[in-house]
Chain A
Amino acid sequence: MAEPIAVEGIVRESLPYAQYRVEIDGQRQVVAHTPGGPGRNYVRVLIGDRVRLELSPKDLGRGRIVAVIK
């Protein structure tokens, strides 16, 4: 069974509810959220940051930011 790819992208736009529009492969754009919630550190993401995403297997247009690449 194939696994949805984890990718790197660049944050292009900040959206409401801690979501961001992230460009991957220089062409596709996905909406991604940060892994917030109780007990989690707040992840500050700025426009222009390189981030690592996991794409949702259910909807390839959505993802979760798992790391900011410095």
Chain B
Amino acid sequence: MRAANALVAEVLAELATMVAPGVTTRDLDQAAEKLVRDGGAEPAFKGYRGYPSTLCASVNDQVVHGIPSNRALHEGDIISLDMGVRLNGFFGDSAVTVPVGKVSEEASTLLRVTQESLEKGIAQVKLGGRVSDIGHAIQQHVEAHGFSVVREFVGHGIGAALHEEPQIANYGEPGRGPRLAEGMTLAIEPMVNIGRPAVKVLGDGWTAVTKDGSLSAHFEHTVAVTKTGPLVLTRRGVPASAA
């Protein structure tokens, strides 16, 4: 689990440095696939339910699951990079949203609040806590800033499969759902819209966009539940050895 997630963190950090005006999302996807394979792993998304690519690259009003294409990035865009790998039988999964060049103040606030909400969610990962405590903390933080949380997609358990139980909604009442136990590994991933929460899926069967066209951001970490609290496996600098 550690090695797979450490690789995801490294690749995403590398991809984030590539993001610039004029770069296409396919360029990023090809770089992602090469980095993953060089790291001895295989892409987890490619072929998953027929998904065609290594990377999900979701620009601006695209929420998640944007399929890489010839679309070139422009100054002022925001792009979510979401990627998973399979290494030695275990899965890693993480996402970041990064600005392309200089972005509006509203967009940078969205990025900051979404990332903060992920950290608030991670802070709820402790023994004896409940799964819905995570979503509750995320929703509280997001809505306090006037943004909204996407309901249709959720985080998930992860381990020997990309998607495992439990599902982790990014909203709801605290104190519901399974209790968190040592050794569980969770992919926590708030998706936050500037406008309304509603999303729709485009005709390609994958790309989810906001119904009102407002900007959307997405951050994701894979987190292990330990005795001493959350261990963020997709944070850079977490050692890849052991377990």
Contact = CB atoms under 8 A, between A and B. Distances in A.
Nearest to A5: B154
A56 to B, nearest CB: 9
A60 B56 contact: no
B64 A58 contact: no
Contacts of A4: 152-154
A3 B167 contact: yes
Q: Interface size for chain B: under 10, 10 to 19, 20 to 34, or 35 or more residues?
A: 20 to 34
Interface string B149-192: 00111111000001100010100000000000000000001010
Nearest to B218: A2
B18 to A, nearest CB: 20
Contact of B199 (A57, A58, A59, A60): A60
A6 interface: yes
- In this complex, which of B64, B93, B167, B199 has the most chain A Cβ atoms within 10 angstroms of its Cβ? B167
B201 A2 contact: no
Interface in A56-70: 57-60
Given A58-B201, A58-B205, A60-B201, A1 B48 contact: yes
B14 to A, nearest CB: 19
B44 to A, nearest CB: 8
A6 B205 contact: no
Contacts of A3: 153-156, 163, 167
Interface residues of A, number: 12
Contact of B167 (A1, A6, A57, A58): A6
B151 A1 contact: no
Nearest to B153: A2
B162 A1 contact: yes
Interface in A1-21: 1-6
A22 interface: no
13 contacts: A1-B48, A1-B84, A1-B162, A1-B163, A2-B64, A2-B155, A2-B218, A3-B153, A3-B167, A4-B154, A5-B153, A6-B167, A57-B206
Interface of B: 44-45, 48-49, 51, 56, 64-65, 82, 84, 93, 151-156, 162-163, 167, 169, 189, 191, 199-201, 205-206, 218, 220
The 3 lowest CB-CB distance pairs between A and B, nearest first, are A2-B153, A58-B205, A5-B154
